[in-house]
Structure 1
Amino acid sequence: MNKQSQIRKILILLFILLSFTVGGFVFAQEDSVNREYFINLDKATIAKGYTVAAFEDILKLSLAPGILSEDTGVDVWEINESVDMPWNLDRVSKIYQFEFRNKQAYDNQKPFYIQFAYNESSDDYKQVFFYDKNYSAWRPLPTRDYPKEKFVRSLIHLPFARIVVLSNPDVLAIGKASWYAYRGGNFAASPDFPKGSKLRVYNTDNNKFVDVEINDFGPDRNLHPDRVVDLDKVAFKKIASLGAGIINVSIEALEIKPDEKGRILGSPETGAVWEPAITAKSAIVMDEDTSEVLWKKNASSTLPLASLTKLVAVKVFLDTRPSLDEVVAYSIKDEEYNYEYCNKWESARVTLNDGDTLTIEDLLYSALVGSANNAVETLARVSGLDRDDFIQKMNEEVKNWGAVSTKFIEPTGLSPENVSSAQDYAIITREVFTHPIIQKASTMEKYKFTTINTKKAHRIKNTNQIIFTNRYNVIGSKTGYLDEAGYCLMLRAENAGRKIIVVTFGAGSRDTSFAETEDLLRYGFRNL
C-alpha cells in the first residue's frame, strides 16, 4: 500500500469519527438520476431534538424531543426521475422522499414540522403534497407559506413520504384586501374558498393576523385581479385601520370546505391526480387550430347528442342566406313535430301562438340561446327546403366535413336516434363556428324580443352556466339533454390566441357536465 492510499484511508476514518461525535453518521451521494442524503440519529441526539437538514437546507425535518423514541437512520432522496404530477397544479419545487429506517422509532400520533424551500415565486396558493399510493393521488398537508423567504412549513405524521410543493394557479394567496360592512364579525368574502372555510389573514405590513370564516363570494377578479379577500369591517379593524382602505395580505388556510361538487380547491377529496377524473360516457379535448387531440375518453363511441343537433340545423339554415330582418309567421304545426318525441311540457320552447309574427333573427337566437325546439322547426319550414330535404342536407353537410358517425333523423335533437361521437362533434364544431352569427348567438347570456303582431315581450336565458362565470373567453357553446343521452355539452374557448374545443356526452347531471367540461378546458390550455 502506497503512502497516498494510507493518508486517504486515515482522512476517511477521521471524517467518520467526527460525524459520530455530533450524534450521527452523515453522507450524501448521487446516482445517475437521484441524489441521496443519510444521517444516523442516536438516542442522545433524539432526546435533545434534532433538525435533519438535507441538500443545502432545502428540506428540513424538525424532530423535536419526544418525536422519536429509538435511534434510527434517516434517508432523504432528491427525486429527479420522471413522476406524474397533478394536471391542475404547478410544481414549484423538486420532489423529495424521506424515510425513517427504524419505523418503530416513530409514533405517528405525534406530527412533526417539515420546512421546504421552493424555486419559483408566485402569488398563488402553495401547499406541500404527499403521494398516497392508496388513492394513487397527491394529497395536501396543512401548510403555511413564507413568500419572502421562499419556503413553506407543514405538519406531517408519516415515517416516510414522497413530497413536493405545488401551487394552485386558480387560487390567489398573496395580494390585497379591502373591507365591507355586512354581518359584523370575523368573516370574509372569497372568490376561491367555499363558504364555511376558515382562513388566517396576515397583514404583511405589520404581521398582525385575524382568523375569519368565509361567508360570501367575491371580490370579482375581473375587476380586482389582485384582491385575495374582502374582510368584514370587524375583522379588518383587527389588523389595520379602516382608513387604510386596502392593505397587503397573505392567507393561510386553516380549514377548506369542499365545494358543491365535493372537490377541494378543484381537486377530488381523495387527492390531486395526473389527469381530470371524467365520469361522462365520452369526451374529447381538441386543439382547434391543429386538430390535435389533447385528451379523449371513448371519443369514437356513437351516442345520442340531444340538442347539440341544433348547431348543425342552424348552420344549414344560414347557408340558405336568409335576411335576418325578414318577418315570418309562426305555425302551431311546427311544434307538433316536437311532440312526436316528448310530452309538450318536456320540450324547451319559446311560447308563441299560431300566427304570431317575429323576425328570423328572433328565431335563430331563440334556437341557440334558449335551445327552443319549436324555433328550429320554424326555421326549417321557412328555409325554402322541404323538411325531409332540410334533414338530408344536415346529414350531407356533416359527412362532407368528415363526421362519418353522425346521423340525424330530425332537426332539434329530441330524437335519441340523432347520434354522433365526441370526435365527430369536435369536427362539426370547428366547421359550424366559421359562421359569426352562430358564435355570437351561442355565447349570448340573454336575448329578448317582442312579437310584432301582439307586442308580447319574450326573455330568453342561455342554458350554459359556464358563460355566466366570466372565467373563460367562451367563443362557442351548446348544451343538450335527453333521458337517453344524459347531459351533453360543447364548449369552445380562446386563450392567448389559441382555441380549444371540448365535447362531453353522457354526463350524469348538469352540474357534473359543467364541472367536467371546465376541467377538460383547463387541462387543454395547460397542455397546448
Structure 2
Amino acid sequence: MKNSKKSVMHVLGMSILLAWSSTSFADLVVNNNSAASSVSASSASISWSASDASQLMDDDETEISPQGSTSVTTTLRNGGSATITSSATPQKSVQIRDTFGSTSQPSVNARSALVMDAQTGEVLFSKNSNMSVPIASITKLMTAVVTADARLNMSEEITLDSIDFAGAGGKNSSSTLRVGDTMNRAELLLFALMKSENPAAAALARTYPGGRSAFVAAMNAKAKQLGMNSTRYAESTGLDPHNVSSARDLGILVSTASQYGLIRQFSTTPTYDFNLGYRVLKSNNTNALVRNGGWNINLSKTGFINEAGRCVVMHTTVNSRPAVVVLLGASSSQARTNDATNLLNWVATLPKRI
C-alpha cells in the first residue's frame, strides 16, 4: 500500500490544507471542525499529519466536537487505496433506561419520538417510542454502519448501475445522480448520509461482499446484536416501507453510529461540491438544523416516504449533555423541524450535566 501523502483543499471561510496518507479510515475525514474554529480569517494553510488525523478519528472516548456551519467544497477523489482500520469499529454498547425526569414534558406532533441522554441511556422524553413503524431513509444510518464495519477499500471506484435507481414500489430514487456516474465508495457514503441519495445507498449494498442479500443480512444481524428488537431491514435505502423500527431502537442505533468518526463528519456536512470530473454536483444537507448551524449537532439523518412521514434522528450536545433525538412520522418538513427545535429547546432547560 502506498504511503504517499496527498492533500485536499477545504473552503472554511479560507483555504485550509490538510495533508493525509492513504493508510487508514482517518484518511477520509474531510471536515475538521475543531481545527476550523481555531483559524483566523487571515491565517494561511494548516497542515495535519496522518497520525493527527488518525487520532481525531480513532479516539472515540473523547467528547464529540460540535457540528460546525462551514461550507466544504473539496472532493474525495484522491485515488490511493484507503482502507478502514479495525479501530473504526466502536466497542461501546448502549443500554436504555426507561426513567423520566420531573421536568414538564414538551408537546410533539410527530407520531413517535424519543429523547435520550446518550451517556447514561436515561430516557428524557418518550412518545410511542416502542411502536414499530416505517423509517424511510433513517435506514441509511445502518447502511453506513455496515459499510464501515466491513472495512472495505473506500477509494474503490464504483459506477452507478440502472439497478441502483430501481427504488422500491416505483418510488423516485434520485433527482441528482445518473446511471453511469462514477465515484469512489467514500463519495457514495457521503452522498447517502448528507444528501440521502438512494442510488448511492443501493450501490453500497450492491458492491458489498456477497451483494445485496449479504448486505441486508448484515444490517439485520447488526440490529440484533445491538438489541434493536423492533427493527427489520429489507433493503439499504429506506424506500421500502418494510424497513421498520421504533424510536427506542433508533436511539440505540444513533448512539452506536455516533461512535464512528466518519459517520459523524459525513452526516453533518452542511454543503458539499461533488466533483465527478465531468460535472460538479452542489449539494446541501437534508437537515435544515444542520444547514443553519444553530445547534451542536454531532450526527444527523433525515427520511421521508409516504408510509413513514417526515423523520429525523440526531445526536446533539446541549448544556454539556450528549443527547439523542428521534422523531418519526411528522406531517411535513416544517413540522419535523419545529418538533426537533422544540425538543432541543426543552433539553436546554434541563439541569446541566455535572
TM-score by length of 2: 0.67
State whether residues 271 and 291 of structure 2, in contact with CA within 8 Å, keep that contact through their aligned partners in structure 1.
Answer: no
Shift of 1:512: 0.7
CA distance in 1, matches of 2:186, 2:200: 11
State whether residues 286 and 524 of structure 1, in contact with CA within 8 Å, keep that contact through their aligned partners in structure 2.
Answer: no
CA distance in 2, matches of 1:329, 1:469: 33
CA distance in 2, matches of 1:367, 1:469: 20
Shift of 1:327: 1.8
CA distance in 2, matches of 1:341, 1:524: 39
Equivalent position SS for 2:150: coil
Candidates 108, 120, 127, aligned match of 1:290: 120
If asked which structure has higher relative contact order (CA below 8 Å, sep 6+), I would say 2
Shift of 1:310: 0.4
Gaps of 5+ in 1: 1-221, 223-272
Residue in structure 1 matched with residue 233 of structure 2 by the alignment: 408
Shift of 1:433: 1.7
State whether residues 160 and 199 of structure 2, in contact with CA within 8 Å, keep that contact through their aligned partners in structure 1.
Answer: no
Q: Given residue 330 of structure 2, which amino acid in structure 1 is its aligned partner?
A: A
State whether residues 366 and 372 of structure 1, in contact with CA within 8 Å, keep that contact through their aligned partners in structure 2.
Answer: yes
Candidates 459, 473, 479, aligned match of 2:296: 473
Candidates 173, 177, 201, aligned match of 1:351: 177
CA distance in 1, matches of 2:150, 2:111: 35
CA distance in 1, matches of 2:158, 2:236: 19
Shift of 1:421: 0.5
Residue in structure 1 matched with residue 329 of structure 2 by the alignment: 506
Q: Given residue 442 of structure 1, which amino acid in structure 2 is its aligned partner?
A: S
CA distance in 1, matches of 2:179, 2:132: 37
Give the % identical residues. 33
1:428 correspondence with 2:269: no
Equivalent position SS for 2:259: coil
Candidates 241, 244, 247, aligned match of 1:419: 244
Equivalent position SS for 1:312: helix
Equivalent position SS for 1:478: strand
CA distance in 1, matches of 2:221, 2:243: 14
Shift of 1:349: 4.8
Candidates 155, 169, 193, aligned match of 1:341: 169
State whether residues 318 and 347 of structure 2, in contact with CA within 8 Å, keep that contact through their aligned partners in structure 1.
Answer: no
CA distance in 1, matches of 2:320, 2:209: 38
Candidates 107, 112, 135, aligned match of 1:277: 107
Residue in structure 2 matched with residue 525 of structure 1 by the alignment: 348
CA distance in 1, matches of 2:118, 2:175: 32
Candidates 480, 487, 495, aligned match of 2:310: 487
Question: Which has a greater percent of helix?
Answer: 2
Greater gyration radius: 1
Residue in structure 1 matched with residue 279 of structure 2 by the alignment: 456
Superimposed CA distance per residue, residues 121-143 of structure 1 (whole angstroms, 9 cap, x where no aligned partner): xxxxxxxxxxxxxxxxxxxxxxx
Equivalent position SS for 1:328: strand
RMSD in angstroms over aligned alpha carbons? 1.8
Gaps of 5+ in 2: 1-68, 70-102
Equivalent position SS for 1:290: coil
Q: Given residue 341 of structure 1, which amino acid in structure 2 is its aligned partner?
A: G
Shift of 1:274: 4.0
TM-score by length of 1: 0.46
Question: Which has a greater percent of strand?
Answer: 1
Residue in structure 2 matched with residue 384 of structure 1 by the alignment: 209
Shift of 1:387: 0.8
